[in-house]
Amino acid sequence: SQTIHQWPATLVQPVGSPLSLECTVEGTSNPNLYWYRQAAGRGLQLLFYSVGIGQISSEVPQNLSASRPQDRQFILSSKKLLLSDSGFYLCAWQRDRGPTNTEAFFGQGTRLTVV
Amino acid sequence: GIQVEQSPPDLILQEGANSTLRCNFSDSVNNLQWFHQNPWGQLINLFYIPSGTKQNGRLSATTVATERYSLLYISSSQTTDSGVYFCAVELVGGGSNYKLTFGKGTLLTVNP
């Protein structure tokens, strides 16, 4: 069966410090991978998605970047954190497919507080 | 882009009551999912239901794709049902393919 791992679970970082959040998927190959952010107030916003190694699409301009160095690894980064980067970050995966769509599954999330 | 509206935004129930949550979407979709966000923030998959009706224990869901809405039914609610319920959809084709757009959720509180 497939599983998704995301770490760390919580993180407190000072303004201006770098960030690296990691997400890995097991039990599948060539998944579509996603980073979402949930700010206070509930809504989830898609930040980045990737359909393959080295292929990153950004949904919103921001202080963050994403990379996919391996098939089942997705990394969210920042060189210098801002207060506004605080939030709950969720990684998700979907099985790669053509015209048939499948469920998305989410990791446990990382709660980031920038102080 | 596609609009996803959930109602009601907040719902308070007594344990044992039934409820219906609604999700309206503005365009044709390939994928529709319902999630429950638990107190620790994790999104738990409830249903993958782009059309039709499914049931899982006390929960059931119906999506009427032609009328662009989905309903989530919770029967005999329990305190553990508390949390935020999200509807998320994936647009058919175009530049929005491969991504889920979320509604703002329904915050359900079940009191003992």
> What kind and span of H or E run contains A5?
strand A3-7
Q: What is the mean pLDDT of residues B45-65?
A: 96
Choose, out of A106, A108, A111, A113, the residue to mutate when testing the contact with B (most B CBs < 10 Å).
A106
Residue pLDDT, tens place only, B66-88: 999 999 999 999 999 999 999 99
Q: Which residue of A lies nearest to B42 if distances are taken between CA atoms?
A: A108
Q: What is the mean pLDDT of residues A79-98?
A: 89
Residue pLDDT, tens place only, A8-40: 999 999 999 999 999 999 998 889 999 999 987
Q: Do A43 and B98 touch (CB under 8 A)?
A: no
Nearest residue, CB atoms, A109 vs list B41, B102, B104: B41
Residue pLDDT, tens place only, B7-19: 999 999 999 999 9
Q: Do A108 and B40 touch (CB under 8 A)?
A: yes
- CA A72 to mean position of chain CA atoms: 12
pLDDT for residue B78: 97
Integer Cα distance of A53 and B24 in angstroms: 35
Q: Which residues, numbered 55 to 94 in chain B, qualify as contacts with chain A under a Cβ-Cβ cut-off of 8 Å?
A: 84, 86, 88, 90
Residues across chain A: 115
pLDDT band at B96 (very low <50, low <70, confident <90, very high): very low
Q: Concatenate the DSSP letters of all residues of B44-94 into one string.
A: EEEEE-SSEEEEETTEEEEEEGGGTEEEEEE-S--GGG-EEEEEEEEESSG
pLDDT band at A2 (very low <50, low <70, confident <90, very high): confident
Residue pLDDT, tens place only, A96-109: 665 555 789 999 99
Work out the minimum CA distance from A108 to partner chain B, whole angstroms: 5
* Residue B103: CA count within 13 A, CB half-sphere: 29
Local structure of A85: helix, strand or coil? helix
